[in-house]
Amino acid sequence: MQISFESKPQIRDWDFVVLLFYKYVKIENPTEFLENHRALCESLNIKGRFIIAHEGINGTCEGTPEDVNEYVKTVTKDPNFADMHIKYSQGTGTSFPKLKMKVRPEIVSLGLGQDDIDPNQITGTHLKPSELHSWFENKEEFEIIDMRNDYEHAVGHFPNSVLPKLKNFRDLPKEIKNLEHLKDKKILTVCTGGVRCEKASGYLKSQGFKDVYQLDGGMVSYMEQFPGQNFNGAMYSFDGRNVIDYDGKSHEIVGTCRNCGQKTENFTDCKNNSCHGQFLECKDCLIKYGKIYCKDRCDAHLNPFSRLFKRIIRFLA
């Protein structure tokens, strides 16, 4: 499924367009593929992040409508990518500071090595956003498992979805025991654009889960078709926009500040520059306290005197 400029003419009216896509397809020489892809992006002034592996490509990037259109036309001329599901959203021109491409063993990692899941061999049944909407409308009995990280879920999610304790996607095998009670239920795996839930649904099937679906095109595809319906909050975007929505910012904010509990969709980076962790901190607290350490990783490694000093500063403020 592709959403083209022809089928969505408003894309042409945006100043900048962000693409989100992936494809599980065998790439014989990822390094050569990367160099050719880099040359294409540089020729069109496309910026973004790409992961390339023997198992396929996972990318998100930004450019002008004209440049993005030419990029899509060129990429999809390759029969391996002709049916790649590409998602479009409105950009800012600053969503990505530069072009970054990496060759990795997997485009998303479950950490299973030779036992890794090949979605072309085993995966859940693809469920179209329109079909999921019907499930909601008809009050179908099913369980949603959100395959994203905790901070993504915090700013927006499907109601009543199950969130495994995943700091990283590769934590799923360790968490599978906590999902055992869902083995005989109808399961729908979801994530941002589909790349994680496609592999995750295959992993669940390999572990004996019987009735497994995956949301085709991910949450962004559902939100685009049904803005403000059956989804709480906004979508974490992994780029300079931080969050995106499709309902004109009329949605209810569900994210809360880690410091004061105030409703917010403002993300901040961990004070530890080597951590790269993100969490919700409202703008008032950011002004009041400045950057702080993320709760679960860096804060735990502060010495007791540093933790006491932090509490005193917060109390005095």
Q: Please pick, among 41, 61, 191, 270, the residue that the annotation labels catalytic.
A: 191
β-pairing, 211-215 vs 243-244, is: unpaired
CA 196 to the chain's CA centroid? 8
How far apart, in whole angstroms, are the C-alpha atoms of residue 187 and residue 250? Answer: 30
Q: What are phi and psi of 269, to 5 degrees?
A: -90, 150
Question: Per DSSP, which regions of 122-185 are E strands?
Answer: 125-127, 143-146, 156-157
**Percent composition of the chain: helix, strand, coil (DSSP 3-state, to 5):** 35, 20, 45
Spatial contact of 193 and 162, defined as CB atoms under 8 Å apart: no
Q: Is 199 exposed, middle or buried (0-12, 13-18, 19+ CB in 10 A)?
A: buried
> Angle 193-195-197 (CA atoms, 0-180°, nearest 5)?
95
How far apart, in whole angstroms, are the C-alpha atoms of residue 265 and residue 257? Answer: 8
Spatial contact of 104 and 51, defined as CB atoms under 8 Å apart: yes
Question: Per DSSP, which regions of the chain are E strands?
Answer: 17-24, 47-53, 56-63, 87-90, 99-103, 125-127, 143-146, 156-157, 186-190, 211-215, 232-233, 235-236, 243-244, 267-269, 278-280
Catalytic (active site) residue 191: yes
DSSP classification of residue 160: T
Q: Tell me the catalytic residues.
A: 191
